[in-house]
Amino acid sequence: MKTIAVTGASGFVGSAMIASFLLDDAPLRVLSLAHDDLDGSRVRQAVAKALAGFGGSPDRVAAIEPVAIDLTKAEEAAAVLAGIEADELWHVAAHMSYDPLRIAEAFAFNAVGTTRLMLATGRVGRFYFVSTTGVAGPGDRDRVGQVIPECPLVEFEAINPYTVSKAMAEHMLWTAGAERGIPLTVLRLGSVIGHSRTGWVNDTRYGYYSYLQAFKRFLGREPVFSVDIDPDRTFPVIHIDHMADLCHRLRARTHPGDREVFHICDTSLMTVAEHFQVFEEVTGGRIKIAFGPGAKSFNQVFNKVNADNNRFMGTRHSFDMTKLGEAVGEIPKLERSGLEAVITAYVNS
């Protein structure tokens, strides 16, 4: 029986990953590493919902065992990790902040804590690190149109503590893994959206869903909602089921690389304008989405609060996925029908 250790297993991405792994017929033991879920009730509830979203039985959560750990407390964390032996360690948890004043916290968790997790664990067959396509930055000024390579970056735009600390973590893990002989797979996720067929999503309100939440709130109440984002930027997104499928196929390889970086996005990405047009059409024209700060106070407040997300979400880059294609074969494609499912499910929830 394989043992998988996971951080962040109660979140949208982590719970979906674990659900997809548990749906495999192979017996599996899952260790959920968290500092605030001592009895495992929260992670089991989250994974049960994800299993239902994927059409599986919630009974499979019995395979999950909670492990109490705080990665920011070095000595205590090291003592716990020393007793863990895992065939795979999936590090999904992250310190997510756009606030420059919280850069020390972001580095402590995302870079230092992440590397501690790799090095202090008793045995790690392969370390999977969930990073973000955001490490490259938005592609402003002289970086417009660049193709981001599948390797640790030496050139990138530093836009917030989250992306900078993730970029640093990639380098630290790359070096530490090589020195200790621990195989490493870095997964730069795009913004993860709901299931491509059912639209299933948990209660997330971040990233892509910050827009859907605002649009839904003002449906039928305001004729126009303005978003202060460049409509020609691309949203690098991936459906949750597509992400889970790619992770499953990466796990199933017989000869993975010692150290590798993959961009986990759908292909045929759409612009911001195209995404929002689908929302308008799915909701029957009950709201018009415009671009700019807006004239009304509710719009200005939204765009002020969401300013960092507006910059983080859209990109003028494209992402090299050559190695991913070689590793797993066909890469899932973003289709209008998938967006329609996501928007319909969210608006009706």
d(CA 123, CA 237): 33
**Cα R_g (the chain), whole angstroms:** 20
Where exactly are the structural domains of the chain? 2-192+236-266+318-328, 194-235+270-315+334-348
Predicted confidence at residue 141, as pLDDT, reads 67
Parallel, antiparallel, or unpaired: how do β-strands 28-34 and 64-68 relate? parallel
Q: Which residues of the chain have pLDDT under 70?
A: 141-143
pLDDT of residue 224: 93
pLDDT value at position 72?
85
Query: Measuring CA to CA, which residue among 180, 160, 66 is closest to residue 116?
Result: 180
CATH code of the domain made up of 2-192+236-266+318-328: 3.40.50.720
Element spanning 156, H or E: none
> Sign of dihedral through CA atoms 87, 91, 93, 95?
positive
3-state secondary structure of 220: coil
User: What distance in Å separates the CA atoms of residue 275 and residue 235, rounded to the nearest whole number?
Assistant: 8
Tell me, what's the pLDDT at 142?
A: 64
Question: pLDDT at position 234, please?
Answer: 94
* 266-301 pLDDT, tens digit each: 999 999 999 999 999 999 999 999 999 988 999 999
Q: How far apart are CA 159 and CA 308, in angstroms?
A: 9
CB environment 73-108: b (16+ within 10 A), e (fewer): eeeebbebbeebebbbbbbbbbbbbbeeebbeebbb
Other Cβ atoms closer than 10 A to 300: 14
